[in-house]
Each structure stands twice: as structure tokens, then as C-alpha cells.
């Protein structure tokens, strides 16, 4: 019998980027096939080609059950038996479980009204078949993350899917929920359904997978039965790459003096995704660049939000030996903390405002007398930063929405640096910006550290973390699972601390 899905010579080029380069992949029925690789290795592009979101470049061949096909769109993919469960769950909270399972293909009676009874009965049947203990009439909003995921799986199965793609399904699940999920995955595979399983967790990959394909920089590195793989070999295959010369030489400016210490910090409430963060302890030295690494859902951003006061926390923060109360961002700013957020457009910038107005928002009082803004001084200072950070904009009056991602990021950094912070937190500082701007951002961070500013860098780009950090704090499932000094931090050691 031929494999369910064959992909040969699949490439995908975006303007300026080759996301996939002649990838081959073969997926069998009843097999749990793990797709492994770093962020940006091309996993999600490959998934999107499988589900018809993107089309592969000409020359690629896709065969479903032995027949050549061009997957036109997600609806077509579903008709071919290919379904996907994204990391961001796509369920409607204010509908019931049954209504979610049958969303957009609700059974209708002769009078054109919903046939609720049929819907309930069929939903119950699907759930029972999967041994899921969920009431079809329950409101999805009242379910846990794990149960919501079960609802999505049930929906996919009710489409009679033959291939189910799961993108980091356990990233936000509790240990117990993850176990239930792996039982269901095995059960589906036993029924002959093929599973593409994307995960960063080594233990899970080895527990659940039959075969593994490693992607790196858009190309297939290897496909092996799991039995012939070890965690160390897998990690090496995933991360082995030339560290770009662009990152330059690292110079440490860290002093022995502890600037900020965080003790027993925990999230007061779980996040909307159900994640918790607890017992976070670390010191930040003056002039130090402290890297924070962890997988998606490990709690990196939550830790930063707690320090910055935008998320309620328990525990203690001291700056220069004195305990400080940080209850909201204004408190943090008063303590000399700046926060370059991960989501530039949603949290960092007022898109409809000009470069000047965004720039000065953090320190407007510097230009004020009796609350009146002196625009000339404001504009001049903004101009200084535009020049020194080489922000590409026609001028301070340009609206930030018209700037490129890299230049928007520089505006966000500028607005904090202009305040002369003691501590600058940068969350994913180079996500989605090109390599040149990335190198400039690294140089800038290094320069700020040299000036005595302490910097916390959060990034899922491991080479970036290793290149610019003096020490690396590794988070796993909401707890610190290792603090590695520069000499001991390697791709392998950090990845192991994040996954093992």
C-alpha cells in the first residue's frame, strides 16, 4: 500500500526568503510522524502547504493516496482527509461542544431549522468513540484547555480525517492533560489515521513518535525511525548551523553589583491559556545582558510582564538592595524599567501616531512646562534618535504604521532608551525583522549594556540568545530549569534544559 501522503521536492519562496528548499516527506497511515526543528526551520510553512494555505513552488509533487494533487485551499485539504489542529485553538467559547464539532456544517431538518437532537447524538458518538469524557451539551468556554483541544480533535475526526496535523499540541497542557492526549493520539494511529506531530519536547517526541523528520533552515536534514535516534543526536541535527558572523564578537560589560533581584515570584492567576509560573528566582547585574530562553508556553513573557507590573504577581523584587512595589507599568517605569514588548504593533506602538509622538510617549514630561509640550525640543530629540539609531523614516512626522518592522522596532527601543532606563527588558527584539536590522539591534543592545544599563533579552531564537547573553536563564513549564553562564551555554545544553 502506498503512503497516505507523499511530498517530493517541495520548495516555497517568499519575497527575499527561501522558506522551504526541496523538502521530501512521506507520511504513512497509522503512523505518528514527528516534525522537529527550531523556530523558523520551515515546519509551519510545510504544514501550511499540506493544508492548502500556501501553494508550493512549481516543481514540487504532492501525492495523496498515490494520486498527484494540487491542494487548493483548506477546504480542499479537508476533503482530501487532511485536518490540522493549530496551537491557537479555534473553538467558539459561547457555543456548546456539539455546536463546535458541527460548526459550519450543522445538520438541518426539513423545515430549515437546526436538528439539535441529531447533532447531540452524533457528537456523543464521536466523543465516545474517542473515549473522551466530555458532555456534548457543555459550553466550550467552561472547558479546560485540554478539553477544548479534545473538542477540536473530535471535530477533525468527525470530518473523517485520514491525516491529522497537530502543532505543538501539549505546549499549554498540564502534565495530566498531556498524558490523556498522547493516549488519544496512539488510539487514532491504531485506527489507521496518520498523525503529523510537531513538538519541541524531547521526552514527548521519544514517547509518542514512530518516525521523525528533522527540518533545518527550510531543508530536510534526516528522516529516521525514532528507535534509531537519541535525544542528543536529535538536538544536534536540529540546531547544528553556522552561527552568523553578523552577531559579532561578544563583550561582557556585566559588573559584580546586583542591580535587581527577583525572589519567589509567581503568577497570581493562571494565564488565559491556563499556564502558571512559579518560584522564579534570579539576579540581574549592572551592565549585564541576561538571556531568557524557553519553549512556547514556558512562561518567559509572563515573567517579564510580572516584573513590569502588567500582570499581577506574588513575590519580591528588589532594586539596588531595596524592596520595590510594582503594581502597574507606571510603577515599573518609575523604578527605571523599560519594556520593549514582543507584540510591537499591539503593545508597543500607537500605529496612527507619528514617530515623534510614539517616541516621546514614555517621557513626555521631559519636554513639558506647565503641561505644555515644547514640540521643537521634542522633535529635535526625536531627530537625534532617528539619526543615532539609523531609523529609516522621512522624518519625525511620519506615521509609524508606514515604517518597516525593523524600523518600528527601533522606534520602540528609542522611546525607552530616551528615558535612560536602569533596566531594559526586550521581548523577542528581532522577531520578524530582517537580518541586517537584527544585527543593528544586537549592536545597540551591546552598546546600552556598555553604558551600564542592565538588559533582559527574551528570545526563542537560540543562536541570538547565545550570541548576546552574558548568562542564560532557561525556563521550562513556568519554572527556572537552569541558569547557564556564558561558558556553559551551548545550543545543546540550553535545549536540554528547556526540554529535558
Q: Which residues bind another protein (CB under 8 A)?
A: 308, 310, 328-330, 333, 339, 341, 346-353, 357, 360-362, 364-365, 368-369, 371-377, 399, 401-402, 415
- Find cell 527540518 and name the residue: 215
CB of 351 to another protein, least distance (A): 7
CA 454, CA 449: separation in Å to the nearest integer? 6
Q: Give the DSSP per-residue string, 63-125.
A: EETTEE----SHHHHHHTTEEEE-SS----TTSBHHHHHTTTS--B-TTSSB-HHHHHHHHHH
Q: State whether the Cα torsion 272-275-278-281 is positive or negative.
A: negative
Q: Which is nearer to another protein, 138 or 368 (CB)?
A: 368
Do the strands 337-340 and 423-427 form a parallel or antiparallel pair, or are they unpaired?
A: parallel
CA 23, CA 11: separation in Å to the nearest integer? 6
Q: Which is nearer to another protein, 45 or 335 (CB)?
A: 335
CB of 369 to another protein, least distance (A): 5
SS3 190: helix
CA 64 from centroid of its chain's CA atoms: 30
Q: Which is nearer to another protein, 278 or 368 (CB)?
A: 368
Q: Which is nearer to another protein, 264 or 402 (CB)?
A: 402
Q: Are 300 and 287 in contact (CB under 8 A)?
A: no
Q: Which is nearer to another protein, 29 or 363 (CB)?
A: 363
Q: Are 247 and 229 in contact (CB under 8 A)?
A: no
SS3 percent helix, strand, coil of the chain, rounded to 5, is: 35, 25, 40
CB of 435 to another protein, least distance (A): 27
Q: Which is nearer to another protein, 182 or 310 (CB)?
A: 310
CB of 305 to another protein, least distance (A): 9
Nearest C-alpha neighbor of 434 from the set 46, 41, 47, 15? 15
CB of 335 to another protein, least distance (A): 11
Largest CA distance in the chain: 81
- Residue 125 has phi, psi (to 5 degrees) of -65, -45
CB of 44 to another protein, least distance (A): 26
Q: Which is nearer to another protein, 178 or 400 (CB)?
A: 400
Task: Count how many residues are written for the chain.
Answer: 500
CB of 187 to another protein, least distance (A): 42
Q: Which is nearer to another protein, 352 or 485 (CB)?
A: 352
Q: Are 49 and 55 in contact (CB under 8 A)?
A: yes
Burial tier of 465 (Cβ tally within 10 Å: 0-12, 13-18, 19+): buried
Nearest C-alpha neighbor of 297 from the set 175, 139, 440? 175
- Residue 316 has phi, psi (to 5 degrees) of -125, 140
CB of 357 to another protein, least distance (A): 7
CB of 416 to another protein, least distance (A): 9
Q: Which is nearer to another protein, 79 or 361 (CB)?
A: 361
CB of 347 to another protein, least distance (A): 5
Q: Which is nearer to another protein, 329 or 463 (CB)?
A: 329
Q: Report which secondary-structure segment, H or E, holds 235.
A: helix 231-239
Amino acid at each position: 500500500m502506498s503512503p497516505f501522503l507523499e511530498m517530493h521536492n517541495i520548495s516555497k519562496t517568499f519575497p527575499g526568503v527561501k522558506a522551504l528548499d526541496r523538502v521530501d516527506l512521506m507520511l504513512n497511515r497509522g503512523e505518528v510522524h514527528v516534525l522537529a526543528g527550531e523556530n523558523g526551520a520551515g515546519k509551519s510553512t510545510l504544514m501550511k502547504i499540506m493544508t492548502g494555505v500556501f501553494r508550493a513552488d512549481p516543481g514540487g509533487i504532492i501525492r495523496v493516496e498515490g494520486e498527484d494533487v494540487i491542494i487548493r485551499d483548506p477546504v480542499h485539504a479537508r476533503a482530501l482527509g487532511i485536518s490540522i489542529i493549530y496551537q491557537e485553538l479555534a473553538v467558539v467559547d459561547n457555543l456548546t461542544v456539539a455546536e463546535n464539532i458541527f460548526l459550519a456544517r450543522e445538520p438541518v431538518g426539513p423545515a430549515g431549522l437546526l436538528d439539535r437532537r441529531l447533532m447531540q447524538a452524533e457528537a456523543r458518538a464521536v466523543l465516545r468513540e474517542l473515549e473522551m469524557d466530555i458532555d456534548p451539551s457543555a459550553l466550550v468556554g467552561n472547558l479546560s484547555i485540554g478539553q477544548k483541544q479534545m473538542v477540536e480533535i473530535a471535530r477533525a475526526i468527525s470530518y473523517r480525517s485520514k491525516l491529522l496535523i497537530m502543532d505543538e499540541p501539549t505546549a499549554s497542557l498540564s502534565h495530566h492533560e498531556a498524558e490523556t492526549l498522547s493516549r488519544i493520539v496512539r488510539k487514532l494511529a491504531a485506527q489507521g489515521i496518520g498523525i503529523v506531530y510537531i513538538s519541541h519536547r524531547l521526552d514527548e517526541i521519544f514517547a509518542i513518535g514512530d518516525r521523525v523528520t528533522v527540518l533545518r533552515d527550510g531543508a530536510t536534514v534526516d528522516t529516521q525511525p525514532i528507535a534509531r535516534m537519541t535525544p542528543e543526536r536529535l538536538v544536534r541535527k536540529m540546531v547544528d548551523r553556522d552561527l552568523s558572523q553578523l552577531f559579532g564578537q561578544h563583550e561582557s560589560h556585566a559588573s559584580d553589583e546586583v542591580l535587581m533581584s527577583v525572589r519567589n515570584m509567581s503568577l497570581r492567576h493562571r494565564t488565559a491559556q491556563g499556564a502558571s509560573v512559579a518560584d522564579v528566582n534570579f539576579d540581574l547585574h549592572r551592565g549585564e545582558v541576561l538571556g531568557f530562553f524557553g519553549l512556547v508556553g514556558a512562561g518567559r513573557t509572563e515573567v517579564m510582564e510580572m516584573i513590569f507590573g502588567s500582570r499581577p504577581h506574588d513575590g519580591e523584587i528588589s532594586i539596588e538592595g531595596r524592596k520595590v512595589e510594582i503594581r502597574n507599568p507606571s510603577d515599573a517605569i518609575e523604578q527605571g524599567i523599560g519594556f520593549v514588548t514582543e507584540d510591537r504593533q499591539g503593545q508597543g506602538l500607537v500605529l496612527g501616531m507619528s514617530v515623534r509622538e510614539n517616541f516621546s510617549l514614555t517621557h513626555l514630561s521631559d519636554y513639558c512646562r506647565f503641561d505644555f509640550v515644547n514640540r521643537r525640543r521634542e522633535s529635535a530629540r526625536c531627530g537625534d534618535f532617528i539619526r543615532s539609531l539609523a531609523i529609516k523614516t522621512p522624518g519625525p512626522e511620519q506615521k509609524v504604521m508606514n515604517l518597516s518592522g525593523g524600523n518600528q522596532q527601533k522606534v520602540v527601543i528609542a522611546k525607552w532608551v530616551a528615558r535612560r532606563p536602569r533596566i531594559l527588558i526586550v521581548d523577542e527584539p528581532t522577531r520578524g525583522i530582517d537580518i541586517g536590522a537584527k544585527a543593528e539591534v544586537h549592536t545597540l543592545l551591546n552598546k546600552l549594556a556598555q553604558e551600564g544599563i542592565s538588559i533582559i533579552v527574551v528570545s526563542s531564537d537560540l543562536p541570538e540568545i547565545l550570541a548576546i547573553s552574558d548568562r542564560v536563564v532557561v525556563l521550562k513549564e513556568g519554572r527556572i530549569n537552569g541558569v547557564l553562564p556564558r561558558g556553559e551555554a551551548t545550543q545543546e545544553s540550553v535545549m536540554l534544559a528547556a526540554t529535558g
